[in-house]
């Protein structure tokens, strides 16, 4: 009985099995797989026939593991439904595709358990490296990855660790640009829509308050409208809360932590026949393509999304392939205010 059980599930054929079946060396099988044009047609046919008979499948991952260089890298983002991240992914793919690598795209959905599960999976897959926009301060978890030989570059988050690369945008400046613009258009009752879970959003809020201070205004005058997510639906709910205030206390301008929120606020205000910008001015953040295409083209703080992705991927490949030459960098891009109709209304 024991003998029969032993063969119930035949182990996958190895390169050695193919060599024995074809009557050639392991090296010749490897040549047929990797450099077929240097093998004579007769030998090549014998080896291919043995591969067919044994059902041999090459194991790229195992091959690269022996070399310690996988041909994949992981990209972990917060919300795949947010065009900000698909634009960043485009930039990553532009760089990795040119290097012959594939990207394993992981969506944490803002869920810590999912983020950790993906990081475990990527480590098991022995990826070349991981690009991640972490949900919170994942420094300990990311350091463990690095200790296990997996390169990690933080994306859209500035690393406080000089021994790690990061690529981000100066979100504090981004918040200042948005509020400075609204103050210059005469607004004094301004609402900030966005949660406080993300470092990026907290920095935008602090920059917004700094702009009020710089203009001699009270930072606490910035009305906080906290949202559980940074989505269009959360923006619609925020619009209802803004309109729920008595008119004399109601904000005359709204700065949203990202464009999805701003598009939701625009929808919520419009449904209540509130005119943007004449009744309430509106500014978003990211400048995704939908911002310019909105029913009222949206003023937004532009992030260089594809450049963020390209730069992060370049740093990761440099660190993975030339560790002896690599110097860790914390690259920070400046955002840019793109003014459109949604905020173009000067208060008297
Ligand atoms: O994921 C939420 C936001 O954080 C995105 O819209 C982008 O602004 C990123 O920085």
Distances (CA, A) of 52 to 10, 12, 47, 48, 60: 15, 13, 9, 6, 18
**CA 300 to ligand 1 center in whole angstroms:** 13
Q: What is the pLDDT of residues 111-166, one digit of tens each?
A: 999 999 999 999 998 899 999 999 988 878 898 888 888 899 999 999 888 888 99
Q: What is the pLDDT of residues 294-309, one digit of tens each?
A: 999 999 999 999 999 9
* CB of 255 sitting under 6 A from ligand 1: no
> If 0-12 CB within 10 Å is exposed, 13-18 middle and 19+ buried, where does residue 250 land?
middle
* CB of 314 sitting under 6 A from ligand 1: no
State the pLDDT at residue 262: 98
**Span of 33-42, 106-115, 265-274 with lowest mean pLDDT:** 33-42
State the pLDDT at residue 297: 98
Residue 67, pLDDT > 60, answer no
Rg over alpha carbons for the chain, rounded to the nearest Å, is 27
Q: What is the pLDDT of residues 230-246, one digit of tens each?
A: 999 999 999 999 999 99
- Cα separation, 101 vs 89, in Å, equals 13
**CA 153 to ligand 1 center in whole angstroms:** 17
Question: How many residues comprise the chain?
Answer: 348
* CB of 56 sitting under 6 A from ligand 1: no
- Cα separation, 243 vs 251, in Å, equals 9
Nearest residue by C-alpha to atom 3 in ligand 1: 258
Beta strands in 118-199 (DSSP E): 129-132, 151-155, 165-169, 190-193
Atom of ligand 1 minimally distant from the CA of 201: 4
Residue 329, pLDDT > 70, answer yes
Higher pLDDT, 242 or 29: 242
C-alpha neighbours within 13 Å on the C-beta side of residue 90 = 9
Q: What angle do CA 260, 263, 269 make, to 5 degrees?
A: 140
State the pLDDT at residue 131: 98
Atom of ligand 1 minimally distant from the CA of 156: 10
Residues 6 or more apart whose CB falls under 8 angstroms from that of 167 comprise 153, 154, 155, 156, 308, 311, 312, 315, 331, 333
Task: DSSP letter for 342, please.
Answer: G
Sketch out the chain's domains with CATH numbers: 2-58 (1.10.260.40), 70-169+305-333 (3.40.50.2300), 171-303+337-343 (3.40.50.2300)
Query: Taking the alpha carbons of 109, 254, 259, 185 in that order, is the dihedral positive or negative?
Result: negative
* CB of 78 sitting under 6 A from ligand 1: yes
* CB of 135 sitting under 6 A from ligand 1: no
């Amino acid at each position: 009985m024991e003998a029969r059980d032993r063969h119930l599930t035949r182990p996958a054929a190895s390169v050695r099995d193919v060599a024995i079946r074809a009557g050639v060396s392991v090296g010749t099988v490897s040549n047929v797989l990797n450099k077929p044009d240097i093998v004579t047609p007769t030998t090549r046919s014998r080896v291919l026939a043995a591969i067919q008979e044994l059902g041999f499948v090459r194991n790229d991952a195992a091959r690269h593991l022996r070399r310690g260089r996988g041909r994949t890298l992981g990209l972990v983002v917060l919300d795949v439904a947010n065009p900000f991240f698909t634009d960043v992914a485009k930039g990553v793919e532009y760089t990795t595709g040119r290097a012959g690598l594939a990207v394993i795209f992981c969506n944490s959905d803002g869920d810590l358990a999912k983020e950790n599960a993906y990081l475990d999976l990527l480590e098991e897959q022995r990826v070349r490296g991981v690009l991640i926009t972490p949900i919170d301060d994942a420094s300990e978890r990311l350091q463990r990855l690095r200790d296990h030989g997996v390169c990690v570059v933080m994306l859209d988050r500035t690393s406080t660790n000089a021994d790690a690369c990061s690529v981000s945008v100066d979100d504090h400046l981004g918040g200042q640009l948005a509020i400075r613009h609204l103050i210059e258009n005469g607004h004094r009752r301004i609402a900030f829509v966005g949660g406080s879970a993300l470092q990026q959003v907290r920095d935008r809020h602090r920059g917004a308050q700094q702009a009020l201070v710089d203009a001699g205004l009270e930072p606490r005058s910035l009305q906080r409208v906290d949202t559980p997510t940074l989505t269009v639906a959360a923006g619609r709910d925020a619009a209802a809360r803004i309109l729920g205030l008595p008119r004399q206390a109601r904000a005359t301008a709204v700065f949203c932590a990202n464009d999805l929120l701003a598009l939701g606020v625009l929808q919520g205000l419009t449904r209540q026949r509130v005119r943007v910008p004449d009744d309430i001015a509106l500014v978003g953040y990211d400048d995704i393509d939908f911002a310019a295409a909105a029913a009222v083209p949206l003023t937004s703080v532009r992030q260089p999304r594809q450049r963020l992705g390209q730069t992060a991927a370049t740093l990761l490949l440099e660190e993975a392939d030339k560790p002896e030459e690599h110097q860790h960098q914390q690259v920070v891009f400046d955002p840019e205010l793109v003014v459109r109709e949604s905020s173009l209304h000067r208060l008297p």
